[in-house]
Structure 1
Amino acid sequence: MDGVLRVLLDRSEGVVSRRAATRVVSESALWRACRAGALLRVLPGVYVDAGLLRLGAALEMAPSGGMVEACRPGSTGELVRRRSGAGWGGSASGGPALAFALLDGAMRKRAAVAYVDGRGALGGPTALDVWQLRRQPDTEPVHLDVPADSGLRGRPHLVVHHRQGFVVGPPQVVSRAGMPVVRLEQALVDAWPLLPAVDRPAPMIRAVNDRLTTPQRIAAALDRVPRLAGRAELRTLVDRLEAGCRSPLEIWGHDHVFTGPGMPGFQRQTRIVVGRRTMYLDVWAEGERVDFELDGAATHGDRRQREVDLRRDALLATAGILVVRFAHRRLVHETDAVRREVLAILASRRPSA
């Protein structure tokens, strides 16, 4: 490979656009690197260092051991080129798609950014990965948001969303990890119908818990997408977050235990200072001075966490606050019994007539 091209690839972490490459080397140098299998085209105008592809995945995709043996040892680029029947730059049908599929998640994102070349931003589930709220599996496609009139098309393993009124710049797009990415609230809303149902609440809850955004900002982003699939479920989650719920278990408790006849207007995640310590109460009945703590399944049997909880409960007792803890198992499987206990505890804390 041309030495200047090698330096350019190293500086760009193995991904380079045709436009950037031909600023420093000739078309023929680019052609020779592709013919040698050292460089592969993964998207229109985007090339990667073949040595950074996942060789194990390439071997799995090869149709026979004979083809693998025919390739130079360690030459992933040559293997992909032969596997796809591709010539210059992997230009045959299936060549770029196969090469793009062999990239790891980080390189796929960089290649996608090079493909849009300032005309789009990472969005949806891919944006959540960049925001470090959900790791996107390599089996999922990269998602890009572009203006409606951009003319950019999707490719295998690359989904392009054409957005009316989308502007590739602040405030709709920010830079994170050196890549353009849509604002967090928009990414959360857009990703909702694209994620497996079991994965949907966690990024939303974590984003609010980590104070990266607020339920109000998410609600505003949701209002801008009136026809979103699964909108009702997302609206319910946002409402629970606005009510102060901060975990799936607290949401369950809100919906099944701490609402209904006889229940007071509880406060959630209430900040309180006792002595020099600041604490947050899961479900706080201020009038009765009772704090109901919902212990998740992960804390069950953790002796160190139990000791921390006991010290915390004793400190709250000095302020006249009764702490009642309900384990995950009881909340979920003995819901009616827990409701009765809550009502009885609250009644016992109220002054007699």
Structure 2
Amino acid sequence: MNPVLGELVERAGGLVTRVAAVQVVPEWTLWQACRSGALVRVMPEVFVAAHLLDGRRGTRPDAPVLSRLDPELARRAACAWVEGRGALSHLSALDVWGLRRQNPGELLHLSAPARAGLRSRPGVTVHRRQGLILEPPQVVVRKGQPVTRLEQTLVDSWPILPSAERRAPVLRAVNDRLTTPERLAVALGNAPKLHDRATFRTLLTRLAEGCRSPLEIWGHERVFTGPGMPAFRRQARVRVGPRTMYLDLFAERERVNIELDGATTHGDPRQREIDLRRDALLATVGILVVRFAHRRLVHETDDVRRETLAILTNRRASATA
């Protein structure tokens, strides 16, 4: 490859556009690099260093060239192609937001105004939208790339993801305080025909009620509501001395904290030690901590419910004795 062009490609992380190339070398030099196999055209007027297509094991020989790139480089190529006429959206934006890694070979997603003149191409799906404005708040720049706002991204991605994977990005976004159930509800309200919309709405309701994990949602729906159960405060904030803690379920009158221990984190001996110290600290202010493991919550639901009711009854009796 021409050394000047090669330096330009290297500085740009393996990618170059025709417009950028012809500013430093004659156009025939660019096409010569393509004919020699040093560069590969992946989108109209967008080229990448050929060696960056290596190592994409499992990709079909007839797959679009774009799908043979690392997802981050593929997104950069797509953004270079649209030249500000569109933004990454759906699963592609979800990766940029840090909520789900896009797998090599997955389709890239772009959203563009209806009149932008962009059409889907091999490896890229273009979603044309009436009223889309490529400026904040509808589109923001994250990690140097234009993406649809987080709430829109989560709503758009919902029907594309396998049903078992849909809740995780939403839960993580709320837990990481990137958004709120209320803001997501507004975005969902603008998508009345979304597939499986009722499940999404129920998830937002649980999040608004304080559930923060699939296990907490399971407990809310199958164990800790109904006759005899108090109105638990979820993710209740409690301060003991200099330390602030958030309790999974807190029965304020009975001073009982129900903790739902996941199948992975709480099996760690170090985490177990942290839990014990935390429980002892809560005991100093009269809060009884009761822990239920994932296995029991899922497989011994009725027993867990009976035990919880008995503990609450005994605490009430002790308080009035």
TM range (shorter): over 0.9
Q: Secondary structure at the match of 2:291?
A: strand
1: CA distance between counterparts of 2:265 and 2:39?
50
Q: Does 1:171 align with 2:117?
A: no
Give the alignment of 1:111-260 within 5 angstroms: 111-260=77-226
Aligned to 2:272: 306
Q: TM-score, normalised by structure 2?
A: 0.95
Aligned to 2:32: 32
Aligned to 1:82: none
Contact 2:67 2:107 in 1 (8 A): no
Contact 2:86 2:111 in 1 (8 A): yes
Paired-residue identity, %:
62
Q: State the Cα distance separating 1:215 from its structure 2 match.
A: 1.1
Distance 1:190 1:347, change over 3 A: same
The count of residues paired between Structure 1 and Structure 2 equals: 319
Aligned to 2:19: 19
2: CA distance between counterparts of 1:113 and 1:49?
17
2: CA distance between counterparts of 1:162 and 1:346?
55
Deviates more, 1:1-10 or 1:229-238: 1-10
Q: Deviations over 1:84-129 (max 9, x none)?
A: xxxxxxxxxx7xx632122111111111111111011111111111
Contact 2:56 2:68 in 1 (8 A): no
Distance 1:24 1:280, change over 3 A: same
1: CA distance between counterparts of 2:101 and 2:138?
22
2: CA distance between counterparts of 1:57 and 1:331?
41
2: CA distance between counterparts of 1:349 and 1:279?
22
1: CA distance between counterparts of 2:266 and 2:183?
34
Contact 2:139 2:147 in 1 (8 A): yes
- The one-letter code sitting in structure 2 at the alignment partner of 1:50 is A
Contact 1:54 1:104 in 2 (8 A): no
Q: State the Cα distance separating 1:352 from its structure 2 match.
A: 4.5
- The one-letter code sitting in structure 2 at the alignment partner of 1:14 is G
Q: Secondary structure at the match of 1:187?
A: helix
Contact 1:40 1:48 in 2 (8 A): yes
Q: Which of 304, 307, 321 is the matching residue for 1:341?
A: 307
2: CA distance between counterparts of 1:301 and 1:100?
42
List runs of 5+ in structure 2 lacking aligned partners: none
Q: Which of 260, 284, 291 is the matching residue for 1:294?
A: 260
Write out the 4+ residue segments of structure 1 that deviate beyond 3 Å after TM superposition: 55-58
2: CA distance between counterparts of 1:61 and 1:330?
44
Q: TM-score, normalised by structure 1?
A: 0.86
Q: State the Cα distance separating 1:55 from its structure 2 match.
A: 4.8
- The one-letter code sitting in structure 1 at the alignment partner of 2:192 is P
1: CA distance between counterparts of 2:269 and 2:65?
50
Q: State the Cα distance separating 1:213 from its structure 2 match.
A: 1.1
Deviates more, 1:139-148 or 1:288-297: 139-148
2: CA distance between counterparts of 1:61 and 1:232?
37
Deviates more, 1:133-142 or 1:10-19: 10-19
